[in-house]
């Protein structure tokens, strides 16, 4: 750059700058390779990935979000795809791989459009039209359901859990309890169903089999009572939640005390005991039967509590304390002195039960708020971990299905149908945008294509057949990955919530569009960075962490 013949140095030395198509292609390459990395995990025949971190810890998983999270990407285009997965996860709780695969496919299609000299602005415009059209068609093709459609909800749940693959063989068992749990906590307000997934607690315990998994109407705390002399069961107990230790205060025990003769020591110990006694009688006075304590409970206190028939559980996690508070109506207090009628909660039963070789505390029949626990069992740590992730996905998809009341056929059926519709639409639009819309249609087909590949089917052959069956009105034709053939997937009960598809399409195409808007990469080896571009540059944060790019 020159001004009046003098060169102007805009960038400091050592800054690397990539512009125009090169910059775009570079980002596209990164985006598509990230998508390629997770692609093979899509669907029930998806492969697992083994992730090893710096500490040598190993995770074997099939979950797109987990993989991307662990990949520790420090490249901006890659990070954007991680964001896609995260958004998908927070918005719907399922469909992360789908969203990332879609974003990757959109970038891949954009690449060939760029090669045909179509300007990125036009590609983006076409993609946006296609996106809106796709969302519209999704609404039209969806089956409408309500919370009463248990069977469909279980299908939705099993479909999202099934893709977690090998570890989980009997997903219907889990699907039943997941649907039961979500229905239990669903609430109707202003004619709409709302579901606070935070009201479902998942407790995993290895040992035992998946069939032993169940739903508990209440909260299960993975802890036993501090002292076996305490009652193991209370009916209609009063419950207190304490976030301070029950013991003689630290400052007092740690204080230096000069003891000159044995009687002094005795009186000191007596003093201590008196204090503890006072605390427990205060608890007793209030009629408390069960205490959940976030901190420790010392031995003298345990003894006195047990003597008074009070059951106490110590070192309860903060998150559990909060759940208990919501469900039992008890308030978390920081001093026993504060304990009054208002702070005390209740439940139908608090009981210690043996699960496998450990004891857990069941707080059942909570009246204040709906709270349920899914107790997930499985033979090994790997099985319960994957089962837990599957249950989380299942909860997400059932929640989506109930909240929006719409489902579509999975296995690539809905995507193929959308692609056929988009191609018809593209013809009406004409011009160069038509090519972009057709590119969008091909990108949607990356889902059936990937599923076909995972089943060892010929992807091109499968797509051609799928298209023709959809064109002749077979709306539910999709890839039966388990049998490796095209079938009516509605009959096979492979069902996805429409919201998951919509979100995947939206966040996938937004990420692709964002990447396509970038035509200038300025990477400094440390100092400041900046950008410029005809479309008004990139969104804030889009190029964070440029250092890793070069
Ligand atoms: P995501 O992270 O996107 O949810 P998954 O690995 O869960 O990825 O795969 C979801 C895809 O697998 C969906 O398109 C769904 O319809 C499809 N799918 C699930 N079960 C089957 C099945 N039995 N046959 C064919 N496709 C299936
Ligand atoms: Mg899934």
96 is a catalytic site residue: yes
251 flagged as catalytic: no
Ligand located closest to 487 CA: 1
Q: Please identify which of the residues 15, 32, 63, 159 carries the catalytic annotation.
A: 63
Q: Given this model, what pLDDT does residue 2 score?
A: 55
Which residue's C-alpha comes closest to atom 7 of ligand 1? 163
Q: Say whether 166 is catalytic.
A: no
Of the listed ranges 70-74, 110-114, 172-176, 215-219, the least confidently predicted one is 70-74
Confidence at 7, pLDDT banded by 50, 70, 90: low
Instruction: Measure 29 CA to ligand 1 centroid, in angstroms.
Output: 25
Q: Is 343 helix (H, G, I), strand (E, B) or coil?
A: helix
pLDDT tier for residue 254 given thresholds of 50, 70 and 90: low
- The pLDDT mean for the chain works out to 86
User: Which atom of ligand 1 lies at the shortest distance from residue 46's CA?
Assistant: 6
Strand partners for 18:
521
Comma-separated ranges of CATH 3.30.260.10 domains in the chain: 150-217+374-404
The predicted pLDDT at position 532 comes to 41
Under CATH, which number does the domain 150-217+374-404 receive? 3.30.260.10
H-only helix segments in 474-534: 498-516
Q: What is the pLDDT of residue 203?
A: 93
- CATH 1.10.560.10 domain locations along the chain: 18-143+413-530
Using the mean position of ligand 1's atoms as its centre, give its distance from the Cα of residue 428 in Å.
Answer: 32
CA–centroid distance, 159 to ligand 1, in Å, is 7
Residue with tokens 């978390």: 332
Active site residue 393: yes
Q: Would you place residue 531 in the very low, low, confident or very high pLDDT band (cuts 50, 70, 90)?
A: very low
- In this structure, the residue with its CA closest to atom 4 of ligand 1 is 95
Per DSSP, the residues of 173-242 read: HHHHHHHHHHHHH-EEETTEEE--GGGEEEEEEEBS-GGG-EEESEEEES---S-TTS-SEEES-EEEEE
Cα separation, 259 vs 478, in Å, equals 84
Q: Which residues of 286-325 are buried (b: 16+ CB within 10 A; e: fewer)?
A: eebbbbbbbeebbebbbebbbeeebbbbbebeeebbebbb
Mean pLDDT of 530-547: 39
| Res 550 pLDDT > 50 | no
CB 370 within 8 A of CB 187: yes
Is residue 236 over pLDDT 60? yes
Kindly tell me if the per-residue pLDDT of 529 is higher than 50: no
Give the pair of three-digit tokens for residue 544.
């964070």
Instruction: Tell me the CATH number for domain 18-143+413-530.
Output: 1.10.560.10
pLDDT at 151: 94
More confident residue, 356 or 533: 356
Cα-to-centroid distance, 500 and ligand 1 (Å): 11
pLDDT of 26 above 60? yes
Q: How confident is the model at residue 549 (pLDDT cuts 50, 70, 90)?
A: very low
How far apart CA 411 and CA 454 sit, in angstroms, is: 12
Which protein residues touch ligand 1 with a CB less than 6 Å away? 41-44, 46, 64, 94-98, 159-160, 162-163, 410-411, 447, 451, 479-482, 494, 496
Q: Tens digit of pLDDT for each residue in 312-328? A: 999 999 999 999 998 89
For residue 45, how far is its CA from the centre of ligand 1 (angstroms)?
A: 9
Torsion of CA 448, 453, 455, 459, to 10 degrees: 70
* Segment 126-167, tens digit of pLDDT: 999 999 999 999 999 999 999 999 999 999 999 988 876 545
Percent of the chain with pLDDT over 90: 51
Would you report the helix, strand and coil content of the chain in percent, each value rounded to 5?
A: 50, 20, 30
pLDDT of 208: 84
389 or 544, which is more confident: 389
Q: What is the mean pLDDT of residues 287-316?
A: 93
Specify the pLDDT at position 191: 82
* Closest ligand to the CA of 63: 1
Closest CA to ligand 1's atom 25: 411
Catalytic residue among 94, 320, 393, 519: 393
Work out whether strand 218-221 and strand 290-293 pair parallel, antiparallel, or are unpaired: unpaired
Query: What is the domain class of 222-251+271-368 according to CATH?
Result: alpha beta
State yes or no: pLDDT of 80 exceeds 60.
yes
Q: Residue 94 — very low, low, confident or very high, per pLDDT cuts 50/70/90?
A: confident
pTM: 0.81
Q: Which ligand is nearest to the CA of 409?
A: 1
């Amino acid at each position: 750059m020159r001004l009046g013949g003098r060169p102007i140095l805009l960038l400091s030395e050592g800054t690397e700058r990539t512009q125009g198509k090169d910059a775009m292609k570079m980002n596209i390459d990164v985006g598509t390779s990230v998508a390629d990395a997770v692609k093979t995990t899509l669907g029930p025949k998806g492969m697992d990935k083994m992730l090893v971190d710096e500490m040598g810890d190993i995770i074997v998983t099939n979950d797109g979000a987990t993989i991307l999270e662990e990949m520790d990407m420090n490249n901006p285009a890659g990070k954007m795809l991680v964001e896609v997965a995260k958004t998908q996860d927070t918005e719907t709780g399922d469909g992360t791989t789908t969203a990332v695969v879609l974003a990757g496919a959109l970038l891949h299609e954009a690449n060939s459009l760029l090669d045909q000299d179509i300007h990125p602005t036009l590609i983006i415009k076409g993609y946006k039209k296609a996106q809106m059209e796709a969302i519209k068609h999704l609404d039209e093709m969806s089956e409408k359901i309500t919370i009463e459609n248990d069977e469909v909800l279980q299908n939705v749940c099993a479909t999202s859990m099934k893709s977690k693959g090998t570890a989980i063989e009997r997903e219907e068992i889990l699907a039943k309890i997941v649907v039961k749990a979500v229905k239990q906590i669903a609430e109707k307000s202003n004619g709409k169903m709302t579901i606070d997934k935070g009201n479902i607690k998942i407790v995993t315990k290895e040992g035992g089999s998946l069939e032993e998994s169940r739903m508990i109407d209440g909260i299960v705390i993975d802890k036993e009572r501090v002292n076996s002399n305490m009652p193991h069961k209370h009916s209609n107990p009063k419950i207190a939640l304490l976030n301070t230790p029950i013991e003689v205060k630290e400052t007092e025990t740690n204080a230096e005390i000069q003891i000159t003769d044995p009687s002094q020591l005795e009186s000191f110990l007596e003093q201590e005991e008196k204090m503890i006694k006072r605390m427990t009688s205060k608890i007793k006075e209030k009629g408390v039967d069960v205490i959940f304590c976030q901190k420790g409970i010392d031995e003298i206190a345990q003894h006195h509590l047990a003597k008074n028939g009070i059951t106490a559980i110590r070192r309860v996690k903060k998150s559990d304390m909060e759940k208990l508070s919501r469900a039992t109506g008890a308030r978390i207090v920081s001093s026993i002195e504060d304990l009054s009628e208002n702070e005390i909660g209740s439940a139908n039963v608090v009981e210690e039960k043996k699960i496998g070789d450990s004891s857990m505390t069941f707080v059942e029949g909570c009246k204040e708020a709906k709270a349920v626990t899914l107790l997930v069992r499985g033979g090994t740590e790997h099985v319960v971990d994957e089962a837990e992730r599957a249950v989380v996905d299942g909860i997400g998809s059932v929640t989506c299905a109930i909240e929006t009341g719409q489902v579509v056929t999975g296995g690539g059926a809905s995507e193929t149908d959308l692609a056929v519709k988009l191609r018809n639409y593209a013809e009406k639009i004409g011009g160069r945008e038509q090519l972009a819309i057709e590119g969008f249609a091909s990108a949607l087909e990356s889902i059936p294509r990937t599923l076909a590949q995972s089943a060892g089917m010929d992807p091109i052959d499968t797509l051609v057949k799928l298209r023709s069956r959809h064109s002749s009105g077979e709306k539910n034709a999709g890839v039966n990955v388990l049998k490796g053939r095209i079938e009516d997937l509605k009959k096979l009960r492979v069902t996805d919530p429409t919201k998951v598809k919509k979100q995947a399409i939206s966040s996938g195409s937004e990420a692709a569009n964002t990447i396509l808007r970038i035509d200038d990469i300025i990477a400094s080896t440390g100092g400041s960075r900046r950008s410029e571009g005809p479309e008004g540059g990139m969104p804030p944060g889009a190029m964070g962490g440029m250092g890793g790019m070069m």
